[in-house]
C-alpha cells in the first residue's frame, strides 16, 4: 500500500501546485450554479404586460388588477391603438399584450361570451407558452370571481397544481443537470489529462518499469479527483439548498450514493479516453467536446428528452448523464425511494462495469 499512498500524495502535489487549474476545478461548480440560478432563468417573473382596453369597465379593471397583483406580471403600458402591438414587441420590453374586446363587461353579462386575446412573442416559444399558461391561470381565477358577481353558477373551473415544484422554479430542473455536467466534466477530463500527461512527459515509462502495478497507478490517479469531486458535490448541494432554496426532499444518503457511483463512472470514462489519446490537448478536446456536448444537449439538462425525435432519444440512452440526472431529479425533487430509481442506478452500474473492464484491458495491453 505504501507505493500507492506515495503516488496519491504526489498527485495532490501536482494539483495543489497548479493553482489556476485548482481554482477552475473548485470554482466552476459555484459559478455554474450561480449562473444558472440567477442569470439564466426560464421562469416567468415580473414580465411586462401591455394592455389594450377599449372597454374600460369593472370587469376589465378587475382582470388588470389581478394581473398586476401577481408576481408574474407587471402592467407596463396602456395601448391606445391596436396598431401599436407590433411596435411594443419590437422594442423588446413587453412579454405579453392583453387585448380586451369592445364592450367586454356587457358581452360577458348578456351573452356570457366576452373575448380576450393574449398575444405573446413567438420568437421564444418556450417562454411564450409559459407566459400564456400563467396568464390563463389568472384569467380563470378572474372568471370565477366575475361569475360569482354575475351569479352564474355551474361552471367547471380547473385548478392547476404543479407537483413537487409549485412555484415552477427552474432551479429544480437545472440543479440535477448541473451536478451531472460538473461531475462528468471534472472527473473525466481531469483524469484523462492527468494520465496522458505522464505519457507525454515520458514519466509513464518510469512508472511502468517500477514495481507499481498498473491498477495501482490507475487508482492512485483517480483518488485525488474522486476527493475533489466529492468536494464539488458537497458545494453544489449546499449552494442549491441554502442559496437557491432547492430542498433535498429524498434520502440524502441515497443521493450521495448515486452521485458517487456516477463519479466513479466518469473517472473510468476519463481512463478510457486516456487510453485512446496521446496528448493532453487531444484529451481535453475529446472530453470537452465529446462529453460536454452530449451532456448539454442529450441529457435532458436543457432540452426535454421526451420531445426529442426518436433517434435522438435512442442516442441519449447511451449518455450516462441522462440516467444520472433523471435519478437525481427523482430523489432530490420527488423524494422517491430506492426502488423507483433502480432502473437508472442499474444502468449506471452496468455502464461503469463495462467502462472499467474495457479501459483496464486496454491499459494492460499497452504494457505488453
Partner 1 sequence: MNQEWVIEAEGLTKCFGAFVAVDHLSFQVKRGEIFGFLGANGAGKTTAMRMLCGLSRPTSGKGTVAGFDIYRQAEEVKKHIGYMSQKFSLYEDLKVWENLRLFGGIYGLKDREIAAKTTQMLQELNLEGERDALVRSLPLGWKQKLAFSVSIFHKPQVVFLDEPTGGVDPITRRQFWEMIYRAADQGITIFVTTHYMDEAEYCDRVSIMVDGRIKALDSPKNLRNQFQVPTMDDVFQRLAREAKRKGD
Number of residues that bind partner 1 (CB under 8 A): 25
Q: How far apart are the first and last CA of the chain?
A: 24
Determine if 14 is a binding residue for partner 1 (CB under 8 A).
Answer: yes
d(CA 330, CA 250): 8
Question: What φ, ψ does residue 77 adopt, rounded to 5°?
Answer: -150, 140
Candidate segments 63-71, 164-172, 200-208, 285-293, binder of partner 1 by CB under 8 A = 200-208
Among 173, 175, 337, 180, smallest CA distance to 265 is for 180
> Residues 339 to 368: which contact partner 1 by CB under 8 A?
367-368
Determine if 3 is a binding residue for partner 1 (CB under 8 A).
Answer: yes
Binding partner 1 (rule: CB under 8 A), the pick from 61, 155, 213, 361 is 213
Determine if 20 is a binding residue for partner 1 (CB under 8 A).
Answer: no
Can you spell out the DSSP letters for 336-362?
--HHHHHHHHHHHHHHHHHHHHHHHHH
State which residue, 7 or 264, has the beta carbon closest to partner 1. Answer: 7
Binding partner 1 (rule: CB under 8 A), the pick from 83, 211, 304, 309 is 211
State which residue, 213 or 343, has the beta carbon closest to partner 1. Answer: 213
Determine if 304 is a binding residue for partner 1 (CB under 8 A).
Answer: no
Q: Give Cα separations from 237 to 153, 182, 230, 233, 335 (angstroms).
A: 49, 12, 11, 6, 15
Binding mask 145-184 for partner 1 (x = CB under 8 A): ----------------------------------------
Strand partners, 119: 97
Binding partner 1 (rule: CB under 8 A), the pick from 41, 136, 201, 278 is 201
State which residue, 87 or 205, has the beta carbon closest to partner 1. Answer: 205
Determine if 279 is a binding residue for partner 1 (CB under 8 A).
Answer: no
Among 232, 298, 253, 274, smallest CA distance to 358 is for 274
Minimal distance, residue 30 CB to partner 1, in Å: 26
Q: Is residue 343 within 8 Å of 317, Cβ to Cβ?
A: no
3-state per-residue secondary structure call for 41-90: CCCCCCEEEEEECCCCCHHHHHHHHHHHHCCCEEEEEEECCHHHHHHHHH
Sites of contact with partner 1 (CB under 8 A): 2-3, 5-7, 9-10, 13-14, 17-18, 201-203, 205-213, 367-368
Amino acid at each position: 500500500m505504501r507505493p500507492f499512498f506515495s503516488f496519491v500524495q504526489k498527485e495532490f502535489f501536482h494539483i495543489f501546485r497548479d493553482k489556476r487549474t485548482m481554482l477552475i476545478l473548485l470554482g466552476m461548480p459555484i459559478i455554474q450554479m450561480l449562473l444558472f440560478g440567477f442569470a439564466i432563468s426560464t421562469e416567468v417573473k415580473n414580465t411586462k404586460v401591455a394592455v389594450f382596453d377599449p372597454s374600460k369597465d369593472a370587469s376589465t379593471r378587475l382582470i388588470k388588477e389581478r394581473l398586476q397583483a401577481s408576481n408574474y406580471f407587471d402592467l407596463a403600458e396602456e395601448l391606445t391603438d391596436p396598431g401599436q402591438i407590433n411596435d411594443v414587441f419590437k422594442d423588446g420590453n413587453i412579454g405579453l399584450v392583453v387585448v380586451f374586446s369592445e364592450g367586454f363587461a356587457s358581452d360577458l353579462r348578456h351573452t356570457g361570451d366576452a373575448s380576450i386575446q393574449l398575444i405573446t412573442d413567438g420568437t421564444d416559444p418556450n417562454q411564450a407558452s409559459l407566459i400564456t399558461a400563467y396568464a390563463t391561470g389568472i384569467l380563470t381565477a378572474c372568471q370565477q370571481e366575475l361569475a360569482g358577481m354575475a351569479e352564474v353558477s355551474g361552471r367547471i373551473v380547473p385548478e392547476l397544481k404543479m407537483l413537487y415544484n409549485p412555484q415552477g422554479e427552474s432551479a429544480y430542473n437545472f440543479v440535477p443537470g448541473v451536478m451531472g455536467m460538473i461531475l462528468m466534466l471534472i472527473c473525466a477530463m481531469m483524469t484523462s489529462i492527468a494520465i496522458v500527461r505522464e505519457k507525454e512527459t515520458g514519466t509513464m515509462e518510469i512508472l511502468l518499469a517500477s514495481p507499481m502495478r498498473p491498477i495501482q497507478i490507475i487508482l492512485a490517479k483517480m483518488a485525488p479527483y474522486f476527493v475533489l469531486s466529492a468536494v464539488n458535490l458537497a458545494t453544489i448541494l449546499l449552494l442549491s439548498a441554502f442559496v437557491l432554496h432547492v430542498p433535498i426532499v429524498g434520502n440524502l444518503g441515497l443521493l450521495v450514493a448515486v452521485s458517487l457511483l456516477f463519479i466513479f463512472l466518469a473517472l473510468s470514462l476519463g481512463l478510457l479516453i486516456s487510453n485512446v489519446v496521446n496528448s493532453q490537448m487531444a484529451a481535453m478536446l475529446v472530453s470537452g467536446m465529446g462529453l460536454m456536448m452530449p451532456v448539454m444537449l442529450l441529457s435532458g439538462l436543457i432540452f426535454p428528452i421526451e420531445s426529442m425525435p426518436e433517434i435522438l432519444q435512442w442516442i441519449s440512452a447511451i449518455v450516462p448523464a441522462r440516467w444520472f440526472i433523471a435519478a437525481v431529479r427523482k430523489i432530490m425533487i420527488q423524494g422517491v425511494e430506492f426502488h423507483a430509481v433502480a432502473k437508472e442506478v442499474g444502468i449506471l452500474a452496468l455502464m461503469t462495469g463495462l467502462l472499467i473492464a474495457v479501459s483496464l484491458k486496454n491499459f494492460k495491453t499497452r504494457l505488453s
